[in-house]
Amino acid sequence: MADDVPPIIARGDAPEPDGAPGDDGEGAGRRFRIRRGGSLWGQAKGLWHRSKWVRRAGWLVVVLLVLRGLLWVTVERTLPSAETLLTYQPPLPTMVRGADGQIVSSYARERRVQLRYVDFPPQLINAYLSAEDKTFWSHGGVDFSGLAGAVVDYATKFGSGERARGGSTITQQVAKNILIGNEYSVTRKLKEMLLARRIESVLNKQQILELYLNEIPLGRQSFGVQAASRAYFDKDVGDLKLHEAAFLAILPKAPETYSRAKFAEKAMVRRNWVLDQMQKNGWATAAQVADAKAQPLGLVPRRVETYTADAGYFLEEVRRQLIERFGEQAADGPNSVYAGGLWVRTSLDQQLQTAAQDALRAGLLRYAAGRAWHGPIAHIDLDEGNWQSQLINSNLSIRYQDWRVAVLLSKRGGSGQVGFADGKTGTLYGVPDAMKAGDVITVAPLGTGTWAVRTVPEVSGGMVVEDPQSSRILAMQGGFDARLGSFNRATQAQRQPGSTIKPFVYATALDNGMTPASMVVDGTFCVYQGAALGQKCFRNFGNEGGSGSHTMRWGLEQSRNLMTVRVANDVGMDKVVRTIKNVGIGDYQPYLSMALGAGDTTVMRMVNAYAALANHGRQREASLIDYAQDRNGKVIWRADNRPCNGCNLPRWDGSAMPRLKPAGKQVIDARTAYQVVHMLEGVVVRGTAETLHDLGLPLFGKTGTTSGPTNVWFAGGSPDIIAGIYMGYDQPRSLGGYAQGGRIAAPIFKQFVLSTRERWADIPFTAPAGVSMVKIDRVSGKRVFGGVPQDNERKASVIWEAFKPDTEPKRTVQASEITAKEAILEALRKARAARGPVAAPTRPGENFVVDQGGIY
């Protein structure tokens, strides 16, 4: 049977049978055998045992496979994907614009500006290639000749502590800078090489260079060549000269060394070497290189990015709001403030901001004039050494006239030596006895190298300016200078508003049946507060007593406390505090003292409430940010998010024009709001804000002074601009018995208006539907039918008053009045007949009663 046939064995040392197939007469030299039915594994096994070269090659393959596996496990497995570079978005600062679209600030911890490849000038590219990677256009990510030199350098320096040269290509540096970091190790170098090969398969050379030139760290907090060009030469890259481009190209090696003045010679040698390499590579002529070598480095001093807007408090509030909404760092989201590259449009009006800052500062200085030096801004421990670094790190400065921040280094009698953040020193005269070495102070120049002490007022305050129609904050000043401290008294200081709260007490009364002509007793008013507290009696400002019955208008104009608490008590404090809460001032307990401004609030809240009065009772949330865009220009947030259906039609469809719904919320009845505004116009004409009357503008407002007095206020404005001011000490204490809102705060508002007079239109406040303007006697509140209203006269006897329907004073007619009236009219007729013809009255309404028969 076939299965019993033994296998055929052929041996190389045995002769084959004659005529055997394949016999070529050379069989005697064969060293292999073929077994019928044998496997490839068997053949390989036999070959392995017989040949040492096969065994060596096999072991080499095994070792390579193990090494490859180890490389994958230890290095390659954890590498990021090179494909991420296709969608890579570098960290970019947030740019802030004002209401006019001009850049006013940026929020950045690093200088970064992104350019496209076509924006980089060729000589700058060639300078970097000469310095860093001359074979860039030809290699595949790794320059093996440069790598070999780096390995030799590493071996010679191993154990010395000295760092070996990198030998990295530009592609490897992209991998290091963006994907894996700057760890100094062999592992990192392996990662660089592997990633470089991957990057070259994903990106083209231009894309790699664009990433490199935008991301390379170059010192002075600059990342990328455009930011560095601004930092070192105050130029854009397109304006760089050859020697400047060569200097930027040396920075990747040692940016903090070459950028310092004491290493200028070293930097010059390295720069000239780059120029030589450019000539050697054919990227610059000998003449160009010679001319470039003759140039100095030409570095500008280290500087801080500055913008025209001096609006530190406003911009810091914007920064806080952005961080709350989008996060601070890249880990917080793609639109973070310090990495997301946002473009933010704010409502900042630079003209109004400057005017508000100047007006508040002038008011603070007026109050503080003649007062002694009250203490330092901060203190530095001179025993710790390096006072300059400590002063720089304190981050204190000032931008007012020619004042500067300095530290007192030594003191001798009435003079001393001061030092500045730039390292310069000078002689200080007029040193107060209380001042000691290490105190950080403000000074102004007397002459060359000599300085005098200047005192930043201890009293402080805040000011906010708002557009009442949109509730956009136009200006904000939260103290003397934001560089001296970030605490914003316009938004963070909780203060009692005093009498500036009263308009909302009277608004509640108007909503509950009273009118501006209602008579209220200005007299003693006491309430029983329980057995523990007993009876409390309220008093007018300055402990004045009552003065009888007056109109509610008069009580608001003269800011009478007794009338205010009586009104609040009659209407109900629960209703009063509800009104105050509705307009956003605060959420208070229904105590009568709250009607006189005992609850805490901020300037910003108070201004927003007054804006609601000027806007017919409709209020929107105060906003500093109009909208925010991401780095690609997409709007990701806006303050006014009302839909506008049909606004973006490509062509008119014949329908009515799209109309936006009214923004905000109706927090006060429109008629009530106007009645309050009309009464507050009287505060400016004949009340506590009378100092503003000579401005000749349609203004309304209210002053405020709290017990002590510890705070003084003014809030008010025109139909288009509302402003509010508070002033007081940060640790509340008395401002002095003479301090009142009308004397201190209102003049600040007046200066603000005078410096921006062209922005204030002579347009009066308009009354909403449902308001009747009726002539009344200002003192008695009774309706009159003769005379000409003179609302702008301080002592006017007849004025226009605003009433809701059916609330105006009624006309009562008695028989005796008719008889008396007829007698008067008859006497007037006879007198006129005796005089003969007379000219027409020179003033409208002069003979209103005669001509119209007393009917109105």
Question: Which of 151, 100, 158 lies closest to 168 in space, CA to CA?
Answer: 151
Are 529 and 535 in contact by the 8 Å Cβ rule? The answer is: yes
CA distance readout (Å), 588 to 342, 539, 566, 581, 593:
39, 21, 18, 8, 10
Instruction: Return d(Cα 284, Cα 413) in angstroms, integer.
Output: 64
499 is catalytic: yes
Residue 114: count of CB within 10 angstroms of its CB = 18
Q: What single letter denotes the amino acid at residue 838?
A: V
Structure tokens at 488: 């914003």
Cβ neighbours, 10 Å, residue 240: 21
* Token pair belonging to 268: 């010059």
Q: What is the 3-state secondary structure (H, E, C) of 668-694?
A: CCHHHHHHHHHHHHHHHHHCCCHHHHH
Per-residue DSSP letter, 758: G
**What is the C-alpha to C-alpha distance for residues 683 and 673, in angstroms, rounded to an integer?**
15
* Catalytic site residue from 105, 130, 132, 168: 132
Count CB atoms within 10 A of the CB of residue 78: 10
In one letter, which amino acid is 198? R
Got the DSSP string for 386-431? -HHHHHHHTT----STT-EEEEEEEEETTEEEEE-TTS-EEEEES-
Helix (H, G, I), strand (E, B) or coil at 582: helix
Please give the DSSP secondary-structure letter assigned to residue 719: S
First vs last Cα of the chain: how many Å apart? 143
Asked if 238 and 121 count as a contact pair (C-beta separation under 8 A), the reply is yes
Reported as type and span, the H/E element at residue 377 is none
In the numeric block, which tokens belong to residue 387?
């006072």
Give the containing element (helix H, strand E) for 802.
strand 798-803
Residue carrying structure tokens 């997301």 = 340
Q: Decide if 716 contacts 699 (C-beta within 8 A).
A: yes
**What is the Cα–Cα distance from 735 to 756, expressed in whole angstroms?**
29
Angstrom distances, CA of residue 35 to CA of 14, 22, 27, 31 = 15, 17, 16, 13
Whether 717 contacts 700, CB under 8 Å:
yes
Q: Count the Cβ atoms, other than its own, within 10 Å of residue 659.
A: 9
Q: Are 208 and 184 in contact (CB under 8 A)?
A: no
Q: Provide the CA 214 distance to its chain's centre, in angstroms.
A: 26
Cβ pair 597, 703 in contact under 8 A: no
Question: Under the phi-then-psi rule, with left for phi > 0, alpha for psi from -120 to 50, and beta for the rest, what region is 556?
Answer: alpha
Catalytic residue among 499, 518, 623, 718: 499
Half-sphere exposure of 49 (CA within 13 A, CB side): 6
- Which residue intervals of 414-500 are DSSP H helices? none
Query: Annotated catalytic, 846?
Result: no
855 SS3 class: coil
Tokens standing for 567?
């009104």
Name the phi and psi angles at 101, rounded to 5: 90, -5
Across the strands, what pairs with 161?
none
- Long-range contacts of 323-329, Cβ-Cβ distance < 8 Å, separation of 24 or more: 325/628, 325/637, 326/628
Q: Side chain identity at 282, as an amino acid letter?
A: G
The alpha carbons of the chain give a radius of gyration, in whole angstroms, of 43
> Hey, what are 675's tokens?
């009645």
Q: Which residues are catalytic?
A: 132, 499
